[in-house]
């Protein structure tokens, strides 16, 4: 089910929590407007803080590219 160097997205992963790898990402989405969503990311990795910083930096780059900056 899980590929070491790949990504597997699972909706309702809490239903199979005992099957998930010890280190994984948790992503939740919520509505913040008619056409907008807010995503929250949580990492269970040993170096979670660093991974989250890298993710935030990548998200800022994508946002800048999409806004023409």
Give the per-residue pLDDT at 19: 87
Give the C-alpha separation, 59 to 51, whole Å. Answer: 12
User: With a threshold of 0.85, does the pTM exceed it?
Assistant: no
Listed in sequence order, the DSSP H helices in 1-69 are 48-67
The pLDDT tens digits for 13-37 are 889 889 888 888 888 999 999 999 9
Three-state secondary-structure class, residue 29: strand
């Amino acid at each position: 089910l899980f590929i070491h160097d790949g990504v597997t997205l699972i909706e309702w992963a809490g239903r199979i929590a005992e099957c998930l790898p010890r280190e994984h990402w948790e992503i939740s989405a919520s509505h913040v407007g008619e056409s907008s969503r807010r995503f929250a990311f949580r990492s269970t990795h040993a170096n979670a803080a660093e991974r989250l910083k890298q993710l935030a930096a990548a998200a800022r780059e994508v946002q800048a590219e999409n806004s023409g900056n």
